[in-house]
Chain A
Amino acid sequence: MSSLHNHNESLCSLCDRFQDWLVDSTTPPGGARNDGRQFPEAHGAGTTAQGMSGLGLPGTPPLELLEGAASPLEMAELASPGPSVAETCDALLGFAPAELREHAQACADCRDAADDLVTLRKLLRDLEPVPVAGPFFASRVMANIAAQESVERSRIAAVWLAVPRFASRLSWVAAVALVFACGWLYERPVTVPAQQTASAFASEHLFDPPALPPNHDDVLVSLSENEQ
């Protein structure tokens, strides 16, 4: 049959579609056997992805359940090996659309991919169960949140409490600085540098009115002195 299916792998859209379907597929639930019989629910092919999640029961009963099984019959049923990969694979393909199912029967690659997926899911059933959240987990989280909020609130409150303390200290420091500044200003010797005096003098006389002409009497006196 597979020899009839001669295709270029990269160009075969059916292969792509089959792969997409396969990725989204879940292994058929416990009851889906080709021959109409049921697989053992607790341990068989009932490894839908969802079925494997949650309480960490990857399709395998946890040890506690095995230990707590009431009778040897139950123990045997729970621990039974379940259907083979080929059986589960056939059951899985039974859920595929007719076109893809026919394709998978003809295409060795797609059949291998389905086998791989089933094998992998069977392997993952043996994963260790995850721990279960305790009954008070939510309460603990809420308490943790409340604690963090109160820490945050007290941090903010601490900032506002620090402001008045800082303000009183600042006013004390400012008062002391003011006293020292006033004292220094009061006691400061008044000394003016020479250059500054000359320039200040110049600037002071810059806008003075022009000097008055000499007195006529003074001129006469000086002329008579020159004649003598």
Chain B
Amino acid sequence: MEDAPPRVSTAPGAANDRVLVARAQADDREAFEELIRRHQQRVFAVAARILRKREDVEDISQQVFVKAFFSLKRFDQRAAFSTWLYKITVNECWDLLRKKKVRPLVYDSDLSEDQSRQVSASDGSRSTEPDILDRIEARERVDRLLAGLDERDRLMLILKEVEGMSIEEIGEVMDINANTVKVRLFRARKRMVVASRQREK
């Protein structure tokens, strides 16, 4: 199991990224491959939080790196490479969702009773431990709570609280002012917590 990559702005490898990007811009394939290895998991994570379907996540992640490779010459390193990459990821994911014209996530509540039972059975069949079933339920609960948020707010919340991005990075990735990010995050957090407390009651 790999360790999670640290926040980009403070990452010790951030400076190395610049070197690797410069080498990749000079047609060094190995440097680009190294960049892929460094960022693949975060790209996977961001894509997975938006798309959910494993096949889509893998395809989009590949697409992101291919697109990054062919656009790398135009990347002037004013932003961090990772931020630029996440921006491509988010845009690619939203493009895919737009093309498919589907809702990004399918929740248990959207399924019929039979389907829901099948899903639960397939999820729970690997173990009969009650705490694992509790955990599955907890996941579904969080998914439902997140589904109550606006798509952009949900992504913002996840990028901040799960992926550990800074406000500035989120602003760059989503093309929003940092103050707007703060306000929207605050509201989204509040809405989710209120909804959670209501559910508990």
Contact = CB atoms under 8 A, between A and B. Distances in A.
A60 B134 CA distance: 12
B129 A141 contact: no
Interface string A131-163: 111000111111011001000000000000000
A139 B141 CA distance: 37
A67 B127 contact: yes
Contacts of A86: none
B88 interface: no
Contacts, number: 154
A148 B67 CA distance: 11
B161 A138 contact: no
A133 B40 contact: yes
- What are the 8 closest A-B residue pairs judged by CB atoms, nearest first? A54-B4, A49-B164, A130-B48, A126-B138, A50-B164, A79-B131, A138-B36, A133-B40
Contact of B182 (A23, A52, A53): A23
A116 interface: yes
**Which interface class (under 10, 10 to 19, 20 to 34, 35 or more) fits B?**
35 or more
Interface string B15-49: 00000000000000100110011001110110011
Interface string A66-90: 1100000001000100000000000
Contact of B189 (A60, A67, A116): A116
Contact of B37 (A49, A117, A131, A138): A138
A4 B152 CA distance: 39
Interface in A6-57: 19-20, 23-24, 26, 48-57
A63 B2 contact: no
Contacts of B6: 50
B139 A128 contact: yes
| Chain B interface, DSSP helix/strand/loop, else mixed | helix
A126 B139 contact: yes
A121 B49 CA distance: 16
Nearest to B37: A138
A3 B2 CA distance: 49
Contacts of B49: 130
Interface string A174-187: 00000000000000
